[in-house]
Amino acid sequence: MNTRRRLIRTGAAAAALSLGTLSATACGNDAGTSDGGKVDVVAAFYPMEYLAEQIGGEHVSVRNLTKPGAEPHDLELSPRETGQLSEADLVVYLKGLQPAVDEAVEQSEVEHTAEATSFTTLKEHGSDVHGEDGHDHGEEGHDEHDHDHEGHDHDHADTGGDPHVWLDPVRYAQIAKGVGKKLGEADPDHKSTYDRKAKALVKRLEALDSRFERGLKERTSDTFVTTHAAFGYLADRYKLHEEAVSGIDPESEPSASRMKELHAVAKEDDVSTVFFEDNASDKTARTLANDLDLKTGVLSPLESVKNPKKQDYFSVMEQNLSALRTALGAR
């Protein structure tokens, strides 16, 4: 009798394992810790994926909900994808950027999450593209280097805070610390490794911050024009002035009065370049640039990268720095 019960249990376990394997194969990703015992991490979009991969290393299997080159804001999840979140060991996301992910995380009741806005602070940017708040030339300075925001869940998503925090290396480093901590909670056996890798990544981000500060220090102009108000944190950090054609929403259309205002700003602030995103249309940027006889250039909001094998966070940020140096006449 006992032998028969053991056989039944063994058969049931094998069937469950087989079904789990088929389910994981069908979606193209391993669920749970089936991938050789690795920690299953689900990342909402590229900057969160990059942190998980860099800090988790060989101990994690990371799957990104947003495909390379896709627009994160537009992400939709199937019921099956939503259900699979409950099987993840850790979900890394940024509340307020992707409503579908926020809802899926809430529905899944996944045990471990690393929510980016709980590790840093958010600000309002781009809500007024008419320039009333535009000349905020770095009110925070660089004092945030010494601030550790871990454990403070500010929940700025509900107040409309700008989500593009990863474009400020200092804030991104704060999030890196938080992700490292949450990985350690999800996988205590490798906590020391995650701590070490998170510290190493923070040092790289601090060095990147120093390169931006030095590279943009001596410039002939403070103002840059973009089609999408994604660079408010970067502008604050390095005492620049971002003028955006549209607000935080990249799909919003500029009004005729806004375009007229940008004409005046470009002339007054000696703007040389109108930037557009690498994953978006350059039509608006070229129209404005042609009207004012200006150049166009690419400034990446790093919401995704088209080719993760050839690009990463640091390489794209270096390209952004080079583009800004040229546009602002930095020496």
Among 247, 209, 226, 207, residue whose Cα is nearest residue 328: 226
Question: Are 113 and 105 contacting, i.e. CB atoms less than 8 angstroms apart?
Answer: yes
pLDDT value at position 105? 95
In this structure, the number of other CB atoms found within 10 A of the CB of residue 210 comes to: 12
**CATH fold match for the domains 30-205 and 212-327:** yes
Decide if domain 212-327 falls under CATH 3.40.50.1980.
yes
The arrangement of secondary structure in 30-205, i.e. its CATH architecture, is 3-Layer(aba) Sandwich (3.40)
Domain segments of the chain: what residues? Answer: 30-205, 212-327
pTM of the predicted structure, to 2 decimals: 0.80
Question: Are 262 and 225 contacting, i.e. CB atoms less than 8 angstroms apart?
Answer: yes
Amino acid found at 277: E
- Backbone torsions φ then ψ of 132, nearest 5 degrees: -65, -35
Instruction: DSSP letter for 250, please.
Output: T
pLDDT value at position 115? 98
Torsion angle defined by CA atoms of residues 214, 217, 223 and 229, in that order, rounded to the nearest 10 degrees = 30
pLDDT value at position 251? 53
Question: Are 324 and 299 contacting, i.e. CB atoms less than 8 angstroms apart?
Answer: yes
How many CA atoms lie within 13 Å of 81's alpha carbon, on the beta-carbon side?
18
- Residue 72 three-state SS: helix
Q: How far is the C-alpha of 67 from the C-alpha of 85, rounded, in Å?
A: 17
Q: Where are the alpha helices (DSSP H) in 122-220?
A: 169-186, 191-215
Q: How far is the C-alpha of 164 from the C-alpha of 300, rounded, in Å?
A: 11
Q: Where are the alpha helices (DSSP H) in 220-312?
A: 232-237, 256-268, 283-292
Question: Are 52 and 38 contacting, i.e. CB atoms less than 8 angstroms apart?
Answer: no
Among 218, 261, 255, 256, residue whose Cα is nearest residue 243: 261
Question: Are 101 and 44 contacting, i.e. CB atoms less than 8 angstroms apart?
Answer: yes
- Backbone torsions φ then ψ of 43, nearest 5 degrees: -110, 140
**pLDDT per residue of the chain (331 residues) written in tens, 0 to 9:** 443 333 333 343 333 333 333 333 333 333 344 456 899 999 999 999 999 999 999 999 999 999 988 889 889 999 888 888 999 999 999 999 999 999 999 999 899 999 999 999 999 875 444 443 333 333 344 444 433 433 333 333 344 589 999 999 999 999 999 999 999 999 999 999 999 999 999 999 999 999 999 999 999 999 999 988 899 999 999 999 999 887 555 555 666 787 888 888 888 888 999 998 877 667 778 888 888 888 999 999 999 998 888 999 999 999 999 999 999 999 8
Question: Are 47 and 314 contacting, i.e. CB atoms less than 8 angstroms apart?
Answer: no
Work out the end-to-end distance of the chain between its first and last CA atoms, rounded to an integer number of angstroms: 84
